[in-house]
């Protein structure tokens, strides 16, 4: 996942592919979480949350900034 994030930062990878990979990881976790111990379940859940937060922050940085515009008062 770190490699994918690095590629996204270099603009070699679209955000949809990064999100798609995250969704695959989350679905895999949901499929196997009943087998995991409570410690592992919590560890993987926290890791997925951190990855999701990182992706959200990267997308927010990548989107163009809004231009400042004066509003007219009537």
Q: Please indicate, yes or no, if residue 40 is contained in any of the structural domains.
A: yes
Q: Which domain holds residue 26?
A: 2-62
Q: Of 58, 13, 14, 49, give the one whose Cα is nearest residue 29.
A: 49
pTM (two decimals)? 0.72
DSSP state of 43: H
Can you give the pLDDT at residue 74? 62
As a whole number of angstroms, the distance between CA 21 and CA 55 comes to: 11
Q: What is the pLDDT of residues 14-40, one digit of tens each?
A: 778 888 889 999 999 999 999 999 999
Can you give the pLDDT at residue 44? 93
Q: Please indicate, yes or no, if residue 38 is contained in any of the structural domains.
A: yes
Q: Please indicate, yes or no, if residue 67 is contained in any of the structural domains.
A: no
End-to-end CA distance of the chain: 52
Q: Please indicate, yes or no, if residue 41 is contained in any of the structural domains.
A: yes
For all residues of the chain together, what is the average pLDDT?
85
Number of domains forming the structure of the chain: 1
Q: Please indicate, yes or no, if residue 68 is contained in any of the structural domains.
A: no
Instruction: Answer for the pair 61, 5: CB distance below 8 angstroms, yes or no.
Output: no
Q: Please indicate, yes or no, if residue 73 is contained in any of the structural domains.
A: no
Q: Please indicate, yes or no, if residue 46 is contained in any of the structural domains.
A: yes
Q: Please indicate, yes or no, if residue 21 is contained in any of the structural domains.
A: yes
């Amino acid at each position: 996942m770190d490699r994918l994030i690095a590629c996204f930062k270099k603009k070699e990878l679209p955000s949809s592919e990064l999100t798609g990979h995250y969704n695959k990881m989350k679905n895999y976790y949901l499929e196997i979480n009943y087998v995991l111990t409570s410690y592992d379940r919590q560890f993987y859940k926290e890791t997925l949350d951190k990855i999701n937060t990182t992706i959200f922050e990267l997308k927010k940085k990548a989107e163009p900034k809004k231009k400042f515009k004066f509003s007219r008062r009537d």
